[in-house]
Amino acid sequence: MTRATVPNLGLVPLPRVVEPTGMEPFAVTAGTAIVLGTDDERLRGIARFLRDLIGTAAAPTPPAIVAPGGAVPPGAIVLELGEGPVGAEAYALHVTPDRVTIRGREPAGVFRGVQTLRQLLPPLVEFQAVRPDVARPVRVPAVRIEDAPRFEWRGAMLDVSRHFFPVADVQRFIDLMTVYKLNRLHLHLSDDQGWRVVIDSWPDLTEKGGASEVGGGRGGFYTKDDYTAIVRYAAERFITIVPEIDMPGHTNAALTSYPALNCDGAAPAPYSGVQVGFSVLCVDRESTYSFIDDVVRELAALTPGEWFHMGGDEVERLTPAQYVGFVERVQDIVGAHGKRMIGWDEIGAARLRETTVVQHWRPKTTAAAAVAKGAKVVVSIADRAYIDMKPDPATPIGQTWAAVIDVRTAYDWDPVATAGVPAQAVLGVEAPLWSETIATIDEAEHLAFPRLAALAEVGWSDAARRGWEEFRLRLAAQGPRLAALGVNFHRDAGVPWTP
Ligand code: TNX
């Protein structure tokens, strides 16, 4: 499929306005420079990102970065802050034969615009080495684009507890999220099978609780420096890390590390199976809350983002009153450490603050009760957004309890209609990748793609302008890019991939 026959230049997610101008394309040559139109430290970081992306695709040396002030040389790519489409991640991208301009009101918008420019460049720029077999110069079609996201929360979740993923794997996952303009990475940092981040005041959480995983492997954990490196890497790509410590259930790893957190005071064995619902913190004991306070305080101090995720799902060992009382106390602790709480939709049973967010995951339920209390909703409905579900019955990895989710199913729905709550209550969408059945980043990528790209569009693009028949052609055009990025994506049968 050539670019001319692909609708909307093959861009995913679909921008608000895409107007090809009919002018000659812009050519990236040895003379191309990246010019900072505004003096801003974050823009400088974005310029370095773009320079590294273009790399040696166009010329033997990457483009130079030119400081603001002087005249703009011909053939420049200009990054600037200024008036344009409204919103922190909004941008305008204008490609003419002799200049590319990307303007945002904020650096985040310019960065999203750079991802659009990236998708207008041929997939060869994604290769880490020079490709002598490709025609040069590299060209960008002349176009005027104006763009802004529909939802402020467009996330993915990586379960690093059931199987541990080292820092480099998480950074790779962030790289792939970046291509599709996602902006939240929720890390599921603790569960029955492993506790994955160091808490200095409770060192055994990782010393003991980090040494297990599904299937009996060695597990692993992030030091505080590791976690900070992930936060920084994400921030450079305008992605916010949302840390989750799952409680009061899903806590076997904590209970094996500190038996006093268990009402019977006995340490359970480390767990490497895949059942849920059997573990619970001793919620009626005061010392449990000093533990939680320490954990939230230490993690909040390392987390610049607004949110702290308390889990709250699948608790089978408490009365409803115990559960609700627990959620309300944790909400106070999270608030005291300056964060907004988010939790799985079960927390909707508690009294929630208006700043609290409910993550709606259970099919055939609504989050209406939580919304009535003023809470906001992130939609992660399992039969649409759970990318740990098999994309195809024949896929050896993945689960099926919620559904088999092909890419059309992941794409062809509306979060507001599905959540059954008013549009203003919906913050956005998030795709959870649980890791019971996956142990490597290659497996994670195979489950995530192309569905994560489809869900990124569900979160970014206006509902009225989206349609499956048009999307499948644009998605097909992403195939060579994903391949160049080394992603072993699922060749979904509904998409006309080129060989
Ligand atoms: C349900 S989703 C869970 C997780 C599992 C997942 C597997 C949710 C809040 N709880 O504990 O990993 O299903 O698909």
What are 67-100's pLDDT values in tens digits? 999 889 999 999 999 999 999 999 999 999 999 9
**Best of 213, 313, 346, 365 for a ligand 1 pocket test (most atoms within 8 Å of beta carbon):** 313
Nearest protein Cα to ligand 1, atom 13: 434
* Confidence band, pLDDT 50/70/90 cuts, at residue 3: low
CB 490 within 8 A of CB 450: yes
Ligand 1 atom closest to 382 (CA): 2
CA–centroid distance, residue 362 to ligand 1 (Å): 10
CA–centroid distance, residue 385 to ligand 1 (Å): 12
Nearest protein Cα to ligand 1, atom 7: 434
134-153 pLDDT per residue, tens: 778 899 999 999 999 999 99
Q: How many CA atoms lie within 13 A of 425 on its CB side?
A: 25
Ligand 1 atom closest to 434 (CA): 12
**Residue 419 in this model has a pLDDT that exceeds 80:** yes
* Confidence band, pLDDT 50/70/90 cuts, at residue 57: confident
Distance CA 92, CA 362 (A): 38
In 3D, which of 470, 490, 451 has the Cα closest to residue 180? Answer: 451
Report the mean per-residue pLDDT for the chain. Answer: 96
CA–centroid distance, residue 214 to ligand 1 (Å): 14
Q: Is the CB of 386 under 6 A from ligand 1?
A: yes
Distance CA 403, CA 425 (A): 26
For residue 93, the model assigns a pLDDT of 98
Q: Is the CB of 399 under 6 A from ligand 1?
A: yes
Pairing of β 26-28 and β 138-140 = antiparallel
Pairing of β 340-344 and β 307-311 = parallel
And the tokens for 46? 């974005």
pTM over 0.85: yes
161-171 pLDDT per residue, tens: 999 999 999 99
And the tokens for 195? 């506790």
Distance CA 181, CA 154 (A): 8
CA–centroid distance, residue 274 to ligand 1 (Å): 10
Report helix, strand or coil for 135. coil
Mean pLDDT of 244-269: 98
CA–centroid distance, residue 479 to ligand 1 (Å): 29
339-369 pLDDT per residue, tens: 999 999 999 999 999 999 999 999 999 899 9
Nearest protein Cα to ligand 1, atom 5: 434
Percent of the chain that is helix, strand, coil (3-state, to 5): 35, 20, 45
Nearest protein Cα to ligand 1, atom 2: 361
Distance CA 210, CA 204 (A): 8
Nearest protein Cα to ligand 1, atom 4: 434
Task: Please give the C-alpha separations between residue 129 and each of 121, 126, 160, in angstroms, as whole numbers.
Answer: 16, 9, 31
Running DSSP on this structure, what letter comes out for residue 249? S
Q: Is the CB of 161 under 6 A from ligand 1?
A: no
CA–centroid distance, residue 208 to ligand 1 (Å): 23
For residue 226, the model assigns a pLDDT of 99
Q: Is the CB of 314 under 6 A from ligand 1?
A: yes
Nearest protein Cα to ligand 1, atom 10: 313
Among residues of the chain, what percentage have pLDDT more than 70?
99
447-463 pLDDT per residue, tens: 999 999 999 999 999 99
